Structure 1
Amino acid sequence: MTIPVFGLGTFRLKGQQAVDSVRMGLELGYRHIDTAQIYGNEADVGKAIRDSGLAREDLFITTKVWTTQLAGDNLITSLEESLEKLGVDEVDLALIHWPVPEEQVPLAEYMTSLLEARQQHLTRQIGVSNFTIAHMEQAIDAIGADNIATNQVEIHPFLQNRKLADFASRHNIPLTAYMPLAYGKVMEDETLQRIAAAHNATPAQVTLAWLLQQGFMVIPSSTRREHLKANLDARKITLTGEEMQAIATLDRGERLANPDFAPEWD
């Protein structure tokens, strides 16, 4: 089962706000919902999915296992708890949310556990998130590139992550871009504004189109119906080669997700 290229992120959304965002997204046509254990909203996402009345087979649900749950049997147990909160028998994609800092748990150990979760039919596909090239190399050695459905990482015009993207491409591992709109900073950029005006679009739509045209999957989020719809409409935009190159020049290595336990980035 392929991962839908356009998904709905739920980072920082909790309670009724999370329920409403997912509900609106599903009404507008989103079918890929991205959550995580650490977001504290898996039950809210599950409620919105149940309330939608959509058939389970029409949805693609992603969750991520937190770093404190990666040792020993904890990964399997925590994923079972996620399924209960979401109200599903299995998710479509389970990711390692972050590599464990300082190798406190061997990477091969938790990648093997994640593969076991798939074999137990807790998830249909498995992958990683926030993995550097070095981490991806270890993951490939542990379970093989064919078993890694995606690496979900921060990518937007101001952080284009080209070294990692090149490595992933060589190993046929798709990348999923989170924070694709750089917390709204794309709206303020003159280059993106100029290109957007030429397409009668918004800088956010242009940014999403730029990512999609490079083969990245995207998971933007919003709590406003008009923004959810506008984001989805980015699929209708085709940028010229010149416009793609103009956006490529915006890279300034501006990383927004960089907690104190983050790895040494490429």
Structure 2
Amino acid sequence: MTEKKVFNQGLKIDFKEKLNKVIHDFDTFEGGVGDRNIIKIINLDGINLNIKAFKKPNVINQIVYKFFRKNKAQRSFEYANKLIELQVGTPQPIAYFEFTSPFLFNRSFYVSEQLDCDLTYRELTSNFNFPDYDNILRAFTRFTYSLHEKGIHFLDHSPGNTLIKKNGNTYDFYLVDLNRMNFKPMNFETRIKNFSRLTTHKFMIQVMSDEYAKSSGEDYHKIFDLMWKETEAFQEKYYRKKRLKKKYLGKK
């Protein structure tokens, strides 16, 4: 088995060596969350590390990741550094590790600093009495607009993937689960479709459409009609996929 490890600059040699041992012993550490990918918070030299172990891919993707495409851990690491370069919040990237055989990709790990937050966007979809609710939702919308203006298309822009921290009277936003992103200018339709996975609640779509209109100068009704249409389309696709899995694979 061949090992590749890439660290961000500035890390001490002994820290790298200790982290390398942590990765090799990852399965022996207790705890962890996730079904497909496992995340464990491990303290190393006083730093809480968020270590994400990606599920070993199927045989086809083992070939793809070995020879044709960057793996998820590498993309997460490189995209995190790109976001920081563009002054967009994300937990500080530390390193990534990958393990391969001569012809197949095996396993990979992405390491970042653990970032504790006050809430995620997900709370906004269920707790409508959350303090300062409207301001947070509007600030999130402006954050998304700023991503679009910087040419950042976050393909996994979904409720659990934006961490939110209160900073005085304002809010800071941090993206996680970074392995699917594009960096290029987006047209109007692509920008608005980027909201489709965030909520099923029409009033939230109305608020986000209003704030996006104020930020972009586009017509509110044009934004709302497309955002709601794309939201409904995503929900129909999502539940159709679940029905098919249940019918043919017996999965819930």
TM-score where L is the length of structure 2: 0.22
Structure with the higher fraction of residues in helix conformation: 1
Question: Max radius of gyration: which structure?
Answer: 2
Greater relative CO, 1 or 2 (CA 8 Å, sep 6+): 1
TM-score where L is the length of structure 1: 0.21
Structure with the higher fraction of residues in strand conformation: 2
